[in-house]
Structure 1
Amino acid sequence: MREDFRILVVCTANIVRSPMAEAIAKAMLRFSSCPILVSSAGTHARAGHPMAPYALDTLRDLGLDGSEHLSRPLDGALVGDADLILTMETGQRGTVVTMDPTAIHRTFTLREFAHLSAGRKIRHRSDTVGRAHAVVRAVARRRGAPGRHPFEIADPYGGLPREYEECSRVIGDSLSRALGELLGPR
């Protein structure tokens, strides 16, 4: 087992939701002693595109900088290297699992993972890679049959600044719950 835990966040073009989630997660993990690495990709991304301007503005309003981000397409190597894959939509989750069927037990929509991980009683010491892996296994066992769930995060691309702000709020709330469960009680 590696000494770090890798989270891959996936959206469509990797210019709005997943890079915002990557930046927010990295900020939340800044002072964690658990070596969690976060990256992002898009199911239909074209390599090398910057974040959408309103997404950059939204991050800037949160005190975060996304100016160095360049989009990258999702590929099998990224999927295979991730310990946890968090998508914005169920269709993207399906794309990941189609790309690598073994990823089914570690691929969730972000909101689904936040919901299903709530209150997990894990017997690992807090703030360890082993605990993070145990939480992912527990959440995978808890997942029910696929269906219609309010677990998607709407894409604000082309919308108004307030839609980007709402998207970042949903992402931040979901990440706070998900990362809190991965890291354990403080």
Structure 2
Amino acid sequence: MTSIVTVCTGNICRSPAAALLLRDYLGDLAEVSSAGTHALEGHPIPDQMLAALDRVGLDGRAHRARPLTGEVTRGADLIIAMAGDHRAFAVRQAPAALKRTVLLDELARAAREGIVLEGASAQERLGQVAATVAAHRTTLADPPPQDVPDPYRRGQRAYDDAFTMIHDAVRDVAAWFRG
């Protein structure tokens, strides 16, 4: 089974939301978890992000933040970073993860542009995602990919905006994986 790790800074807002959404959309196609570059280890998801998750029927109350370590990075088949500095951190943790580490916006653009994923099954296509994005990185870089803004301590609207960006990207990416 494909292992996906979503990454943000504190592992309490963006990456757990992305992981919960991916689990919901992908079901048993992948094992999905999240981690943070500067995790607030053991902290839960803030109420504002829980409210956004609640609106789509997802419960994030059991989540506890954990750090992105070299071990976590090396063990993932696909690392989805919420921002460029998260991708850079993951690659510093495990340089061999460079080709397996992508931005959420890169994935969403690839999905929306209809870049072909090879494979007869959703599982096979999922296994080709990192290589496909890497092969198209130059086309996906214009305009530059957007970071998902960090909503932490910025009010409900910032949480809602970040969640909407994550939700829309994950929905499109999951549909692309499934073919």
TM-score, normalised by the number of residues in structure 2: 0.91
Aligned-residue offset at 1:150: 3.9
Partner of 1:111: 105
Deviates more, 1:144-153 or 1:21-30: 144-153
Say if 2:41 is the partner of 1:44.
no
% identical equivalent positions: 36
Q: Could you report, residue by residue, the CA deviation over 1:23-70 in whole angstroms, capped at 9, with x for unpaired residues? A: 11112123xxx5211100000003211111111111112211000000
Say if 2:7 is the partner of 1:10.
yes
Partner of 1:19: 16
SS state at 2:128 partner: helix
Q: Check the 8 A contact 1:120/1:135 in 2, yes or no.
A: no
CA distance in 2, matches of 1:55, 1:23: 12
Closer, same or farther: CA 170–83 of 1 in aligned 2, 3 Å: same
Aligned-residue offset at 1:162: 1.8
Gaps of 5+ in 1: none
Partner of 2:48: 54
Q: Check the 8 A contact 2:101/2:130 in 1, yes or no.
A: no
Partner of 2:91: 97
- Runs of 4+ more than 6 Å apart: 145-148
Gaps of 5+ in 2: none
CA distance in 2, matches of 1:158, 1:24: 22
Structure (1 or 2) with the greater helix fraction: 2
Aligned-residue offset at 1:148: 7.5
Partner of 1:151: 146
CA distance in 1, matches of 2:29, 2:26: 9
Aligned pair count reads 177
SS state at 1:78 partner: helix
- CA RMSD in angstroms, aligned pairs only: 1.8
CA distance in 1, matches of 2:98, 2:39: 22
